Amino acid sequence: MLRHCGGERGHLLQGDNAAALSLLRETHRDAVSLVYLDPPFLTQRVHEKKNRVTRTSAAAFDDRWDDRAAYLEALGDRLSRARDLLAPHGSVIVHVDPKTSHYVKVLCDEIFGEDAFASEIVWRYRRWPSRTPNFQRVHDVLLRYRKDPSVPPRWNPLYEPLAASTLATWGTRKQRAVFDGDGHRARSSKTEEETRGVPMGDVWDIGVIAPMARERTGYPSQKPEALLERIVASLTNEGDWVLDPYAGSGTTLAVAARLGRRFLGIDASPVSVATVRERLAAMGHPLAEPRPHGHDADAEVPTDRPSRTRRKKNATVGPASQKRVRAARAC
């Protein structure tokens, strides 16, 4: 049974995310600007939340699977359901590790279409090195796909600081190209307008959460707010819906609320739900106690379906993807 926690900024559903995503199709089809999925990484173990005060731990989520094919089948099902909720201008971000990213990209190509692929973002971070006869693994992969490539996407460009050499040569003013009579670039000149920096690339150097950081919750899969800030700020506007079907520690929901977005979160883990509610309450965005969905009017997720949005046929995992899932079983 699904349980619902409602609040001023959004809603959190406790239960199986496949069932919850199907429920949201009734209320939020074609309405969500961003879906961010941070699924389990196929680690084949149970992950625990650590309490720094009591020095106790509790099982947060189970990441054990029969095989890779079962993992991909479950993830593909969630992606297909989530696609129905995206607005035509919307994007989905799938956060995985290098061990599964190539499989997941093929899966997403089947569900969203190869022409819907937008970018592969590499999140690079530093951590304590491990003893291994290999290069240290210090990055995750974030795959971005668009709902409808023919529709202009929701996009707010972000910028990085100028390189030291550029600052030394040109300062903080914008450059302007000067062309010769043949149309070739001859030189650059300064303008009086301040530059915003360099358009952000697809390799992001963001540190992991420090052990004593205030934002740390102890939840095992927690991602830094700085990472989600870039994603939410660039792909949504104020008032847009942001969906996280693997809510975990609630970073996506917390960042969405802080940036003036509305959120929809889903997680089956009672530990996750308690963590999210505590985190949002500390921010001044409390959620109600979990209640069975449909128990009363207050427990219903409100409808926010656009009335004039063109609806597409539900996407499913195609035959080619099913073949690749079967092939994965043999790997």
Q: What CATH number corresponds to the domain at position 110?
A: 3.40.50.150
Distance CA(4)–CA(300), nearest Å, equals: 7
Mean pLDDT per 10-residue interval, the chain, length 331 residues = 96 98 97 98 96 90 97 98 98 97 98 98 90 91 98 97 75 72 69 81 96 94 98 98 98 98 98 98 97 65 50 41 47 44
Distance CA(195)–CA(206), nearest Å, equals: 23
Q: Are residues 128 and 268 in the same domain?
A: yes
Q: Are residues 284 and 237 in the same domain?
A: yes
Distance CA(4)–CA(264), nearest Å, equals: 11
**What is the pTM assigned to this prediction?**
0.86
Q: Are residues 189 and 165 in the same domain?
A: yes
Of the residues 135, 167, 199, the one at which a domain ends: 199
User: Which one-letter DSSP state was computed for residue 50?
Assistant: E
Q: For residue 143, what are its two tokens?
A: 């795959």
Own/partner pairs, 193-196, CB within 8 angstroms, 24+ separation: 195/162, 196/159
Domain extent, residue 192, equals: 159-199
Distance CA(24)–CA(86), nearest Å, equals: 11
Q: Are residues 176 and 207 in the same domain?
A: no
Torsion of CA 52, 56, 61, 66, to 10 degrees: 130
Q: Are residues 46 and 174 in the same domain?
A: no
Angle at 276 between CA 270 and CA 80, to 5 degrees: 75
Q: Which residue has the tokens 């291994």?
A: 132
Q: Are residues 7 and 125 in the same domain?
A: yes
Helices (H) then strands (E): counts for the chain: 8, 16
Q: Are residues 175 and 260 in the same domain?
A: no
Q: What are phi and psi of 69, to 5 degrees?
A: -60, -40
State how many domains the chain has: 2
Output the pLDDT for position 193: 74
| Residues 30 and 87: beta-carbon distance below 8 Å | yes
Q: Are residues 181 and 299 in the same domain?
A: no
Using CA atoms, how far residue 286 sits from 146, 197, 215, 222, 289, in Å, is 32, 37, 17, 20, 9
Output the pLDDT for position 188: 67
Q: Are residues 179 and 307 in the same domain?
A: no
Q: Are residues 163 and 222 in the same domain?
A: no
Q: Are residues 36 and 171 in the same domain?
A: no
* Closest by CA position to 123, among listed 140, 138, 143, 135: 140
Cβ neighbour number for residue 289 with a 10 Å cutoff? 9
Q: Are residues 170 and 296 in the same domain?
A: no
